[in-house]
Structure 1
Amino acid sequence: MPVSQSAEEHLKLDGISVSFGAVNVIPSLDLSVCKGEMVALLGPSGCGKTTTLRMIAGLISPSSGRILVGGRNITRLPIHDRDMGMVFQSYALFPHMDVLRNVQFGLQMRNVSKQDIEQRSKEALELVQLGQLAQRKPKELSGGQQQRVALARALVIQPSILLLDEPLSNLDAKLRDEMRLQIRALQQQSGITAVFVTHDQVEALSMCDRVVVMRNGRIEQFGTPTEIYERPATAFVANFVGRTNRLKGTVGSDGRLSAAGQPLRATAKLLPGPVDVLVRPHRIALKPSNGLAAAGDGNVVEGTMSGIIFIGDLVQYIVRAGGAEIVVEEATRRERPSLGVGDKVQLTWSPDDTLVYPDDDK
């Protein structure tokens, strides 16, 4: 269940900025994470998400601003005093130690009693379902098993905050799917506050309570996965999160919208000028054209099929319309009427699914 927005604030970044020499990587960033919440920092390479995570961990010092945990200012605290667990992209397991000793290492560094070390390390390994592999070395484990050891090592110290730096990027697609579910279940079971860095939108949307979309060191939008996907604040967010068709359009002085050589409808209030029109491929209906406009108040675009791509559970239809190329996605269906390249087709979609933004290229 999503964390209530009235929940207690746990982690706060207050006016944080980072500069490396003359390069201002993060101009100014404000972020608040609730207790028990899992938040994703999502964005393309170079957007500042990993720098932000490393600042929280204490691996990078901010140029200005404050980092607060539970109201306590930890901005200048060393790493070992921050009470945080971190899972690295490379897992960073000690190759000469077996699984059990890897998990116990953090507790030993904190001078925990031998009895507590044994009990807590055993519980951590059972939590990630690796108790039976305690005596194996990292090289004897699969990628998913190594990932779970890294998680157990981070969780066993019972940190205030769990930090994850693209921990699934080295796994194959099927294993990533499995580990997404396991990490989310572990986070919810433990109730720990977690910050998760990824460039993969599927990971962010499926695992986290809220998502921070970053661009050029700034936050473009911060909201729930549904808000980010259904109501993107900018054209960048709409393009980055989920697949979209992007059409160049205009809004006339009368407020009417047109793109792909056709008049279109949108529910948002539009200002005159050049615009970007975005439509999700799976929100578009496709049928053979009969030369007649579809009934109703939806958008109707006539075009010609220029390509068909089969990708297992989906079929992508590429349609040329008014000088633009529009992609339509449908779930694979055996009863789908035959359509071929060169066929005239009609595309329809709801005004609610027509996202319009000021032209980003002007």
Structure 2
Amino acid sequence: MPDSSVTNAHLQLQGVGVNFGAVNVIAGLDLSVRKGEMVALLGPSGCGKTTTLRTIAGLHRSSCGRITVGGRDITQLPIHERDMGMVFQSYALFPHMDVARNVQFGLKMRKLPAREVQARAQRALEMVQLAHLAQRKPRELSGGQQQRVALARALVIEPAILLLDEPLSNLDAKLRDEMRVQIRALQQQSGITAVFVTHDQAEALSMCDRVVVMRSGRIEQLGTPTEVYERPATAFVAHFVGRTNKLKGSVDAGGTLTAAGQAMKAHGRLAPGAVDVLIRPHRIGIALPPAQAGAQERNRIAGAISSISFVGDLVQYGVRAGSAEFVVEEATQRHRAALPVGSHVVLHWSVQDTLVYPAGDA
């Protein structure tokens, strides 16, 4: 899928392929990243996102295609000549060096003057708010602090591209949320071009300017977080980026959509055949009958609550409706009790939120 939406790209992959023996891991990948942009490579395990990142870094050699940075062809260059800063999932800090020397390492390898090495390392540690821990060893730091040291070490060399390989996966949920904000702020503050690999949709959507959803070594969709979430190009994207209810359905020769045993409406013209209908749980309203207002704008189906799960900020209802089982998410409210199991309800959702794809696409 050529990325024709970006001109004057800072990082560009053109027809890049990667083979591991007889296995084709990446197939003809085209991707353009603007200067100062942060782009996420998002997808399930084995989709090729980390291989793509490591190929940009020079850790894997491409079997075909071309990689350029600022118009300079780096396809055949060794790792140390590519001007990349990389933050690994494991942080990869040197355990025998203190924080300051870890951050200084890349500068010393470039044989910069000692005074410049110390000054730049100090600025980098101040940027990640760790200057006061410069003399500590990695084992004396928390996971979040080690992550920031790794980030400072990557940024201090002022690379052309910052590559982040699932850097938050080893952190607990609360710290992960904090680090999302910090990494994004540092990337915007420095103005560096960054590529971020993750399998976590929340990280991709909240941290990045654009999201590349990958599947089996190819780009399934590329767009802004809003575009990918609100207008998924395929059922795979809709299912992977966010939670969905999946209904089996069909479209007849006249364009009428049927799912869960009843006629429904969807936006746009539908091609006849078997289809999958996807509806996001939080886009479904749940009400006691009759709830008929605005019937022309919304799909409706009657059902009964079969289960309830309290998830702090959400109540998740299981609802048996027609021939399908729905999951419905509703924000909790302090003074409103959840509807009890067995309640007869009406589910309703916007025609715009009724996503229809050819059957089996996901």
Q: TM-score range by the shorter chain?
A: over 0.9
Give the aligned partner of residue 131 of structure 1: 131
Question: Match of 1:132, as an amino acid?
Answer: H
Kindly indicate whether the alpha-carbon contact (under 8 Å) linking 2:289 and 2:345 is maintained by their aligned counterparts in 1. Answer: yes
Identity of aligned residues (%): 72
Give the aligned partner of residue 18 of structure 1: 18
CA distance in 2 between counterparts of 1:78 and 1:334 reads 59
- How many residues align structurally? 357
CA distance in 2 between counterparts of 1:361 and 1:201 reads 20
Give the aligned partner of residue 186 of structure 1: 186
Give the aligned partner of residue 146 of structure 2: 146
CA distance in 1 between counterparts of 2:8 and 2:187 reads 17
**RMSD of Structure 2 on Structure 1 (CA):** 1.3
State the TM-score, normalizing by the size of structure 1: 0.96
Give the aligned partner of residue 229 of structure 1: 229
CA distance in 1 between counterparts of 2:40 and 2:196 reads 5
Q: Secondary structure at the match of 1:195?
A: strand
Shift of 1:338: 4.6
Kindly indicate whether the alpha-carbon contact (under 8 Å) linking 1:41 and 1:213 is maintained by their aligned counterparts in 2. Answer: yes
CA distance in 2 between counterparts of 1:94 and 1:295 reads 63
Q: Secondary structure at the match of 1:196?
A: strand
Kindly indicate whether the alpha-carbon contact (under 8 Å) linking 1:38 and 1:209 is maintained by their aligned counterparts in 2. Answer: yes
Structural mapping, 1:300-339, within 5 Å: 300-336=300-336, 338-339=338-339
Give the aligned partner of residue 342 of structure 1: 342
Question: Match of 1:256, as an amino acid?
Answer: T
Change (3 A) 1:336 1:259: farther
Question: Match of 1:23, as an amino acid?
Answer: V
Kindly indicate whether the alpha-carbon contact (under 8 Å) linking 2:280 and 2:353 is maintained by their aligned counterparts in 1. Answer: yes
Shift of 1:289: 2.7
Kindly indicate whether the alpha-carbon contact (under 8 Å) linking 1:305 and 1:318 is maintained by their aligned counterparts in 2. Answer: yes
CA distance in 2 between counterparts of 1:361 and 1:299 reads 23
CA distance in 1 between counterparts of 2:350 and 2:6 reads 34
Q: Secondary structure at the match of 2:327?
A: strand
Q: Secondary structure at the match of 2:228?
A: helix
CA distance in 1 between counterparts of 2:300 and 2:212 reads 34
Q: Secondary structure at the match of 1:9?
A: coil
CA distance in 2 between counterparts of 1:62 and 1:302 reads 54
CA distance in 2 between counterparts of 1:87 and 1:28 reads 26
Change (3 A) 1:10 1:238: same
CA distance in 1 between counterparts of 2:361 and 2:114 reads 62
Shift of 1:294: 4.9
Give the aligned partner of residue 196 of structure 1: 196
Question: Match of 2:18, as an amino acid?
Answer: V
Question: Match of 1:58, as an amino acid?
Answer: G
Shift of 1:304: 1.3
* Structure 1 stretches of 4+ moved >6 Å: none
**Structure 1 runs not aligned, ≥5 long:** none
**Structure 2 runs not aligned, ≥5 long:** none
Question: Match of 1:213, as an amino acid?
Answer: V
State the TM-score, normalizing by the size of structure 2: 0.96
Shift of 1:213: 0.1
CA distance in 2 between counterparts of 1:218 and 1:361 reads 15
Shift of 1:71: 0.9
Structural mapping, 1:75-94, within 5 Å: 75-94=75-94
Kindly indicate whether the alpha-carbon contact (under 8 Å) linking 2:235 and 2:361 is maintained by their aligned counterparts in 1. Answer: no
